[in-house]
Structure 1
């Protein structure tokens, strides 16, 4: 009888452990997002338009901003930057374009998700206007140039001279006939 009680206690303890692990799994994503927002890790950029702070331009420094694009699995679009890199002075506003073409035989809606590397530089990369703020619906065969207006904050640490802005394009819509 004592062996049954012992097994019962063990099962109850293990069940609580499993429930706690399950709960932690659900809490992990929001906790990770908060951690990344605080530390600037993971290269997450602002997801809303920044206002341009016209505090002058630091012409003594030049930052190279590189642009990289990729498609998530299952999105048959051509997606690329019009230029691969640009030199900017901290505080200087720039405008660049990206090209997209829906090569599918049906309409699709895409969403570009940005990331900046090195991750700590994401806090200093400010998008004033970006195609990544909205969904991009394209009919079959349709092509478009999409704009990005940005500036690099003057407070960017002096040891960073190159930023890489990477966009991953995801299919977020349903197939249309």
Structure 2
């Protein structure tokens, strides 16, 4: 009885090993079959570098060029400016501009930037993907930082708008939480 169970277990084990070997071989053979199928049908041309030249962003309207002008205004003891004054983009093209802010004080500051657009009707067509204006910025004494704005102009921008001005007004929000804690400790001690 025990011997019969051992033989049955060996046969089952041998069948399982054959099944594992077959599954491994089948998985290994799928790669060339997949490539052959893709070449035959013309879809998903894996590794075909000639097809890369055909890939492009079809949402970019290359028949139009929009001039984007950048402006900055600071309300406080800090310096705030774009690193370039203008650029030309095609509607649908993703672009980036950098603004620089410098804290010229001997204490930490918190800043918030508010955007505005001219002409006003361009605001709904100017889409910011990444912007320092989404969050408050904290700067240490005498710290400078470059901050990006990644944007795209909607291809649905009316044809009569050849230029857009993006203007930021940045203002100081008051003492940072660390400054407030220091001030509170000094008041408690004194």
Question: Which residue of the partner structure matches residue 147 of structure 1?
Answer: 148
What TM-score does the superposition give when structure 2 sets the normalisation length? 0.62
Equivalenced residue count is 122
Question: Which residue of the partner structure matches residue 67 of structure 1?
Answer: 70
Give structure 1 stretches of 5+ with no counterpart: 1-53
What is the CA deviation profile of residues 32-59 of structure 1, one whole-angstrom value per residue up to 9, with x for unaligned ones? xxxxxxxxxxxxxxxxxxxxxx652100
- Separation in 1 of the partners of 2:79 and 2:167? 15
Give structure 2 stretches of 5+ with no counterpart: 1-56, 183-190
1:128 has 2:112 as partner: no
What is the CA deviation profile of residues 73-126 of structure 1, one whole-angstrom value per residue up to 9, with x for unaligned ones? xx1111000100010000000011000000011100000100011001100000
Moved over 6 A (4+): none
Question: Which residue of the partner structure matches residue 137 of structure 1?
Answer: 138
Higher relative contact order (CA 8 A, sep 6+): 1
1:57 has 2:68 as partner: no
Question: Which residue of the partner structure matches residue 12 of structure 1?
Answer: none
- Separation in 2 of the partners of 1:77 and 1:107? 11
User: Higher helix share goes to which structure?
Assistant: 2
Question: Which residue of the partner structure matches residue 171 of structure 2?
Answer: 170
Larger radius of gyration: 2
Question: Which residue of the partner structure matches residue 93 of structure 1?
Answer: 94
After superposition, the CA RMSD in angstroms is: 1.2
